[in-house]
Amino acid sequence: MSEPIASVNEFVVKFANVNGSGSASANELFARSILRMGVPVSPRNIFPSNIQGLPTWYEVRVSEKGYLGRRGGVDLLVAMNPQTWKQDVEELSPGGYLFYDSTRPMPASAFRDDVTTIGVPLTAICNATYTDARQRQLFKNIIYIGVLSVLLDIDPEAIEKLFGEQYKGKEALLGANRKALKLGRDYAHENLDPDLVKLRVKAADKVGDRIFMEGNAAAALGCVYGGATVCAWYPITPSSSLAEAFQAFCKRYRHNKETGKANYAIVQAEDELAAIGMVIGAGWNGARAFTSTSGPGVSLMTEFIGLAYFAEVPAVIINVQRGGPSTGMPTRTQQADILSAAYASNGDTKHVLLFPEDPRECFEFGAESLDLADRLQTPVFVMTDLDIGMNQRLCNPLAWDDSRTFDRGKVMTAEELDAGKTFGRYLDVDGDGIPFRTIPGTHPTKGAYFTRGTTKDRFARYSEEGDVYIDNMERLAKKFETAKSLVPQPIVRHAKEQTRYGVIYFGSTSPAMDEAIDLLEEKGSHVNSMRLRAFPFPNSVKDFILAHDKVFVVEQNRDAQVRGMLSNELGIDPARLVPICHYDGTPITGRFIARAIGGRMEELKVVSLERAVS
């Protein structure tokens, strides 16, 4: 028997449940109660593409140190799904704890002798207490939370408070939940050794004013704050909850108080082609519009994205990435649509991408993308992913400066047209590659033009002349240069010690990277880091790479897509960029990154020694 794992405020609990059994809210209650004790947690939903009956897991990392990335490994397993029992039990770390429903006897062979087993007859308790089948099912979840709260020392007051908030005004439900919790707690007190589990939650003050939110909801709220009035979408995991959250926020904040009228329009389109078409139509007509989708949706949208690029129509596409290609791993996470988004559509096209690291940046970039799309008159992608989008993540509170105004970009008004200002729809008047546009209906006689995906001259007149075409394409390239200084700039962190190694990462890799840097430092390895927040890459990215001998590029795809883009776009020798790729569909971990970078550093040391000798 391995020594039981002992830890205060640093461990991983994994709940194995059956989809549709009502476990989600109980498991969330577990995570939240620990947060209320001032201890950071990061939960992750692991679920199949199924509505009812298939396995689902909820993995909660408790980390007073504040690591919010996935850790890997399981210290305490709450095994509520007989179907996945074997694989779940195998995953448990030696010295870990196996919690299960002991109503039905299990053969000895189902257990491991290097873990501590905690059997509680949950079904028997439920059957003795409830007659209704649904209640038996639902309260079983609360009962196990009750037992766990005793074993892990979770403050019952915190849970009670959460119940109070959740069931405010629903006294019957409140009472029933309290009763179920007490059933579990009483059972534990009466039947279990209080020192059986050596994992403990101890109150701390490491949460601060942070909030606990899903990235999809945050991005949707960013679109509300950024002034989106038109949303067109087609359901696809893991993005659907974004449009649904937009709808819910609009219901609350976007109706005229007197008339009840909606200051927004949401269309569930017939497919992604129609969704992006509507966004482009609305953007062309001067409204702020966005769509949310995932990889397969972007694939369908590509012809339209080229139109918006070439005709210069603002559009925001939020791509909540999942595992590809094709239907791929629809309920797993990846960062594998970077290339297909950056160069979406036929011909020479390039698009602005934003890479939020957490819900807080989903909110910021949601709003910011609408400004950028208007300013640059082009499609802007917000490249989030399932890990950020569909999991609640602890992050800084959302903030809004009330003096902030929407940047509507270069829109020529009727007054300006009347004053005799020259209007050339594709005329670069300011030298930044960005022309002026007019909104349909602006002026009775001036400023109308024809928008098209075919080539045109500076005054929007159809032309197939080679030099006219090149003139326009060069201006578009210049506009993309301009974008470099307008997009969110990368963030650099210097290592504690001088180093010739750098690391570049982006998006949801962020919390794992924070942890990896600490793990590497503990081993005496140092890397300077740069977190990319947008494409096109600002000039500082090239400077950062050139300031290091080797730069690791960490990403969650097979083909090192961003590494390729860095090399191509910035003219960097690929040998300088070392790919670190994680793409099995699970969120990348700090352990993985530290091991991979540490390993490569060892190899590189050997190589440079060899070079020195020969």
Partner 1 sequence: MTYIAKPKLHHPSLTRNEVGKTRRDYEGAISTLCAGCGHDSISAAIVQACFELSIEPHTVAKLSGIGCSSKAPTYFLGASHGFNTVHGRMPSVLTGANLANRDLIYLGVSGDGDSASIGLGQFAHLMRRGVNMTYIVMNNGVYGLTKGQFSATADKGSVAKKGAVNNDSGIDLASLAIIMGATYVARSFSGDKQQLVPLIKAAISHPGAAILDVVSPCVAFNNHAGSTKSYDFVREHNETVNRLDVILGAPPMTAEYGPGEMVEVPQADGVTLRLRKITPDYDPSDKAGALSFIEEKSQAGELATGLLYLDPLPKDLHANMNTAAEPLNTLTESTLCPGSTVLETINAALR
Which range, of 86-94, 166-174, 251-259, 541-549, touches partner 1 by CB under 8 A? 251-259
Alpha helices by DSSP H, 192-239:
215-225
Residues 1-60 touching partner 1, rule: CB under 8 A, are 35
R_g over Cα of the chain = 27
Least distance from partner 1 to the Cβ atom of residue 286, Å? 4
Least distance from partner 1 to the Cβ atom of residue 3, Å? 37
User: Closest CB to partner 1 among 253 and 523?
Assistant: 253
User: Closest CB to partner 1 among 446 and 600?
Assistant: 446
For the purposes of burial, counting CB atoms within 10 Å of the CB of 182, is it exposed (0-12), middle (13-18) or buried (19 or more)?
middle
Least distance from partner 1 to the Cβ atom of residue 429, Å? 20
Residues 436-455 touching partner 1, rule: CB under 8 A, are 438-445, 448-454
Least distance from partner 1 to the Cβ atom of residue 414, Å? 10
State the amino acid at position 233 in one-letter form.
W
Are the C-beta atoms of 244 and 391 separated by less than 8 Å?
no
What is the CB neighbour count within 10 angstroms for residue 137?
17
Least distance from partner 1 to the Cβ atom of residue 142, Å? 22
Residue with token string 């919690």: 99
Q: Return the residue of 259, 326, 498, 614 that touches partner 1, per CB under 8 A.
A: 259
Residues 359-388 touching partner 1, rule: CB under 8 A, are none
Contacts of 540 (CB under 8 A, 6+ apart): 489, 490, 492
Q: Return the residue of 52, 256, 326, 614 that touches partner 1, per CB under 8 A.
A: 256
For the four alpha carbons of 436, 439, 443 and 448, in that order, the dihedral sign comes to positive
Q: Return the residue of 327, 462, 491, 493 that touches partner 1, per CB under 8 A.
A: 462
User: Closest CB to partner 1 among 275 and 566?
Assistant: 275
Cα-based distances in Å from 318 to 25, 154, 156, 192: 27, 38, 40, 49
CA distance 305 to 322: 20
Least distance from partner 1 to the Cβ atom of residue 65, Å? 20
Decide: is 273 part of the binding site for partner 1 (CB under 8 A). Answer: yes
CA distance 117 to 109: 13
User: Closest CB to partner 1 among 218 and 580?
Assistant: 218
Least distance from partner 1 to the Cβ atom of residue 451, Å? 4
Binding mask 298-337 for partner 1 (x = CB under 8 A): -----xx--x---x--------------------------
Q: Return the residue of 180, 278, 341, 373 that touches partner 1, per CB under 8 A.
A: 278
Decide: is 426 part of the binding site for partner 1 (CB under 8 A). Answer: no
Decide: is 463 part of the binding site for partner 1 (CB under 8 A). Answer: yes
Which two tokens mark 598?
């540490």
Residues 139-158 touching partner 1, rule: CB under 8 A, are none
Residues 390-419 touching partner 1, rule: CB under 8 A, are 397-402, 404-406
Q: State how beta strands 230-233 and 265-268 pair.
A: parallel
State the amino acid at position 14 in one-letter form.
K
Decide: is 262 part of the binding site for partner 1 (CB under 8 A). Answer: yes
Order of strands, sheet of 501-506, starting from the edge strand that comes earlier in the sequence: 491-493, 528-532, 501-506, 550-555, 577-581
User: Closest CB to partner 1 among 332 and 375?
Assistant: 375
Binding mask 213-242 for partner 1 (x = CB under 8 A): x-------x--xxxx-xx-x----------
Residues 173-212 touching partner 1, rule: CB under 8 A, are 209-212
Least distance from partner 1 to the Cβ atom of residue 303, Å? 5
Order of strands, sheet of 10-18, starting from the edge strand that comes earlier in the sequence: 41-46, 55-63, 10-18, 74-79, 92-101, 116-120
Which range, of 67-75, 256-264, 513-521, 524-532, touches partner 1 by CB under 8 A? 256-264
For the purposes of burial, counting CB atoms within 10 Å of the CB of 95, is it exposed (0-12), middle (13-18) or buried (19 or more)?
middle
- Count of residues in the chain: 614
